């Protein structure tokens, strides 16, 4: 478990990082918390020639509030996201999902930006980011651009972040007062999601006024269960309504088959767990 040799640089600003990424080393990789990249290197599934460690760039860490938006630096760790009062209050779904990632060690090293750029189909953070309609700020040689979460996840392990770019911030619209639940299904406590369901709902006078539902590991990218979302709006915030709406959860998904279950099982789980997640999110 020894990686192939690589060069290493640790710039202290985003501008310097972009410069480093533009250097003529053969294969350049950004290193964030290393919780996905280091295992890949140790197994020699990748052999970059230069690692640009963005861990010393202070402006990339931290959680702030800008009017109707929570702004989270890409280098903010899962632990900080999970424990942040701002995130808990205004984007409860994200805090709850971050809390389910791996174990405390990983949560204290792994970063939100890293998890999103890594874009593992079984990762816990892409789906909440998708359903919260976040925007992702990407810096490159030509300056900054902003990409909607719906356009960010292109395929498994593939995002809108280009080779010479870094993700700098995640802008999450406030969902203050929304109920939220992240339902993660695993066989052992420390496992990637077999599937997971991310739900956040707004309830007005016992009726669901807005609903957002995302699915993890039901396709190569996180997906939104739009049929469920539509079916929920206007329904009473009860278990029965949740269950009924959830029956459409697997529509249009293409889940994988692996040692934990086949596609049919995952589709079934999606309906059951979506019902449970909605029930929990509405406070039932």
Partner 1 sequence: MTVTEDRPTTEVGSSRLRKEDQRLITGRTRWTDNITLPGMLHLAMVRSPVAHAKITSIDVDAAKASPGVVAVFTGADINDEQGSLPCAWPITEDQLAPPHPSIAVETVNFAGEIVACIVARTAVAAKDAVELVDVEYDDLPVVLDMAAAAEGGDLTHPDLGTNVSATWVFDSAEAETGGNVEQAISEAEVLIERTFRQQRLIPAFMEPRSVVCDPTGEQTTVWSATQIPHILRLMLALTCEISESKLRVIAPDVGGGFGGKLQVTPEEVVTLVVSRRLARPCKYTETRSESLLAGHHGRDQIQKLTLAAKQDGTVTGLKVELLADMGAYLGLVTSGIPILGAFMYNSIYKFPSYRFVCKNVFTNKNWTDAYRGAGRPEATFAIERLMDELAAEIGVDPIDIREKNWIKHEEFPFSTVAGLEYDSGNYEAATAKAKELFGYDALRAEQRQRRDAGDQVQLGIGISTFTEMCGLAPSRVLGALSYAAGGWEHASIRMLPSGKVEVITGSSGHGQGHETAWSQIAADRLGMPFDDIEILHGDTQVSPRGLDTYGSRSLTVGGMAVVAAADKVIEKAKPIAAHLLEADADDLEFSAGRFNVKGTDSSVGLTDVSLAVFAAHNLPDGIEPSIDAEATFDPANFSFPHGTHLCAVEVDTETGETKIRDYTCVDDIGKVVNPLIVEGQVHGGLVQGIAQALFEEAVYDDAGTLVTGSFVDYLVPSAADIPHFTTGRTESPSTTNALGVKGVGEAGTIASTPAVVNAVVDAVRHLGIDDIEMPCSPHRVWTALQTASSGADTPRDKTMVDDNADPSHNAQVSDGSGAEGFTGQGGLG
Ligand X SMILES: Cc1cc2nc3c(=O)[nH]c(=O)nc-3n(C[C@H](O)[C@H](O)[C@H](O)COP(=O)(O)OP(=O)(O)OC[C@H]3O[C@@H](n4cnc5c(N)ncnc54)[C@H](O)[C@@H]3O)c2cc1C
Judge contact between 80 and 70, C-beta under 8 A: no
Binding mask 1-40 for partner 1 (x = CB under 8 A): xx-xx-----------------------------xx-xxx
Nearer to ligand X, 118 or 279 (CB): 118
Given ligand X, partner 1, none, residue 26, with its beta carbon under 5 to 8 Å by kind, binds: none
Query: Stretches 35-43, 128-136, 219-227, 250-258: which one binds ligand X (CB under 6 A)?
Result: 35-43
Which residues within the stretch 216-275 sit at the binding site for partner 1 (CB under 8 A)?
217, 219-220, 253-265, 268-269, 272-273
* H or E element in which residue 221 lies: none
Nearer to ligand X, 39 or 177 (CB): 39
Judged by CB under 8 A, how many residues of this single chain contact partner 1? 47
CB of residue 223 to partner 1, shortest distance in Å: 12
Count of Cβ atoms closer than 10 Å to residue 207 Cβ: 13
Number of residues that make up the chain: 284
CB of residue 3 to partner 1, shortest distance in Å: 9
> Integer distance in angstroms from the first to the last C-alpha of the chain?
47
Q: Is 109 left (phi over 0), alpha (psi -120 to 50) or beta?
A: alpha
Exposed, middle or buried by CB within 10 Å (0-12, 13-18, 19+), for 58?
exposed
Query: Which pair of tokens denotes residue 175?
Result: 């969902």
Binding mask 151-180 for partner 1 (x = CB under 8 A): -----xx-----------------------
Count of Cβ atoms closer than 10 Å to residue 189 Cβ: 8
Query: Stretches 107-115, 202-210, 254-262, 265-273: which one binds ligand X (CB under 6 A)?
Result: 107-115
Which residues within the stretch 222-261 sit at the binding site for ligand X (CB under 6 A)?
none
- Angle, in degrees to the nearest 10, between helices 239-246 and 263-281: 150
* H or E element in which residue 182 lies: strand 179-185
CB of residue 20 to ligand X, shortest distance in Å: 12
Q: Tell me the β-bridge partners of 258.
A: 261
* Binding-site member from 192, 236, 239, 251 for partner 1 (CB under 8 A): 192
* Binding-site member from 10, 11, 25, 34 for ligand X (CB under 6 A): 34
Given partner 1, ligand X, none, residue 51, with its beta carbon under 5 to 8 Å by kind, binds: none
* H or E element in which residue 3 lies: none
For residue 120, state whether it binds partner 1 (rule: CB under 8 A): yes
* Binding-site member from 124, 135, 183, 229 for ligand X (CB under 6 A): 124
Nearer to ligand X, 241 or 273 (CB): 273
Structure letter (DSSP) for residue 258:
B
Query: Which pair of tokens denotes residue 9?
Result: 């640089």
């Amino acid at each position: 478990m020894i990686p192939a040799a690589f060069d290493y640089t640790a710039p202290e600003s985003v501008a310097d990082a972009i410069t480093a990424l533009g250097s003529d080393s053969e294969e350049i990789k950004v290193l964030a918390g290393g919780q996905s990249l280091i295992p890949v290197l140790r197994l020699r599934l990748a052999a970059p020639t230069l690692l640009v460690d963005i861990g010393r760039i202070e402006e990339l860490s931290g959680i702030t509030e800008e009017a109707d938006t929570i702004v989270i630096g890409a280098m903010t760790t899962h632990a900080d996201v999970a424990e942040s009062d701002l995130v808990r209050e205004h984007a409860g779904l994200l805090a709850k999902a971050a809390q389910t990632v791996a174990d405390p060690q990983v949560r204290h090293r792994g970063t939100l930006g890293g998890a999103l750029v890594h874009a593992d189909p079984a990762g816990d953070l892409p789906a909440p980011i998708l359903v919260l309609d976040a925007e992702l700020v990407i810096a490159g040689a030509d300056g900054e651009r902003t990409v909607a979460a719906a356009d960010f996840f292109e395929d498994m392990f593939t995002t809108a972040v280009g080779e010479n770019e870094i993700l700098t911030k995640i802008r999450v619209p406030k969902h203050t007062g929304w109920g939220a639940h992240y339902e993660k299904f695993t066989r052992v406590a420390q496992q990637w999601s077999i599937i997971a369901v991310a739900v956040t709902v707004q309830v007005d006078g016992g009726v669901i006024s807005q609903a957002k539902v995302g699915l993890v590991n039901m396709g190569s990218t996180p997906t939104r269960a739009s049929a469920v979302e539509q079916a929920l709006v206007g329904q009473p915030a009860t278990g029965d309504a949740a269950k009924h709406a959830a029956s459409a959860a697997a529509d249009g998904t293409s889940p994988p088959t692996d040692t934990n279950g086949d596609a049919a099982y995952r589709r079934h789980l999606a309906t059951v767990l979506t019902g449970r997640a909605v029930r929990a999110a509405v406070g039932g």
